[in-house]
A and B are shown apart, each in its own frame.
Chain A
Amino acid sequence: DQQVKQNSPSLSVQEGRISILNCDYTNSMFDYFLWYKKYPAEGPTFLISISSIKDKNEDGRFTVFLNKSAKHLSLHIVPSQPGDSAVYFCAARGNAGNMLTFGGGTRLMVKP
């Protein structure tokens, strides 16, 4: 049972435009959501997080939106840069423990 899903395996965006990566979840007990960037053969790098009591968190070019009623969150990157090309994972933390559940990842390609 996949509790965290990223339905788009890949996304291609032109440099300077907005990248929108989506994530859906099924467990209403998740209390924190995190986005990670990952390059091949490397560990994930933390990007941004959001608490379930908020609907938006912004950090520079990265903004995460949370729609609790829809159990949906999205990561916006604007403007997109070629260096943003990587695999992005969303992850959720259940309030019954501190383990993370990861989505399947979305490969973002930003074209110059």
Chain B
Amino acid sequence: GAVVSQHPSWVICKSGTSVKIECRSLDFQATTMFWYRQFPKQSLMLMATSNEGSKATYEQGVEKDKFLINHASLTLSTLTVTSAHPEDSSFYICSASGTTANYGYTFGSGTRLTVV
């Protein structure tokens, strides 16, 4: 079936530094990648949608200069949290669309980001 690899699975960084999270589709071409954020005991909130080779579309309230999304190939999308602050600490999950497996949405395993 379709597999999406997301890493790192967890990362701790100092305030003010940048962190890059990668999301790879291993056995299919991901035409669209979705990036979500989940706070403790809350739902998954869509941050942005990216199509290969295009600029990402950000949801209202998401700072595009802070959360840089790159979808340069059909198998790789990256989310870079720039100048991270403690309030950016969260669980980030990617989802790839491009195959009918999993009804078209295959999620990565998530990245726990802690900014200290």
Contact = CB atoms under 8 A, between A and B. Distances in A.
A99 B34 contact: yes
A49 B101 CA distance: 12
On chain B, which size bracket covers the interface? 20 to 34
Nearest to A6: B43
Contacts, number: 54
Interface stretch (A14-22, A37-45, A69-77, A78-86): A37-45
A42 B103 contact: no
B32 interface: yes
Which 7 interchain pairs have the tightest Cβ spacing?
Answer: A43-B107, A46-B102, A104-B43, A102-B44, A49-B103, A102-B43, A43-B109
Interface of B: 4, 6, 9-10, 32, 34, 36, 41-46, 49, 91, 93, 95, 97, 102-110, 112
Interface of A: 9, 32, 34, 36, 41-46, 49, 89, 97-105
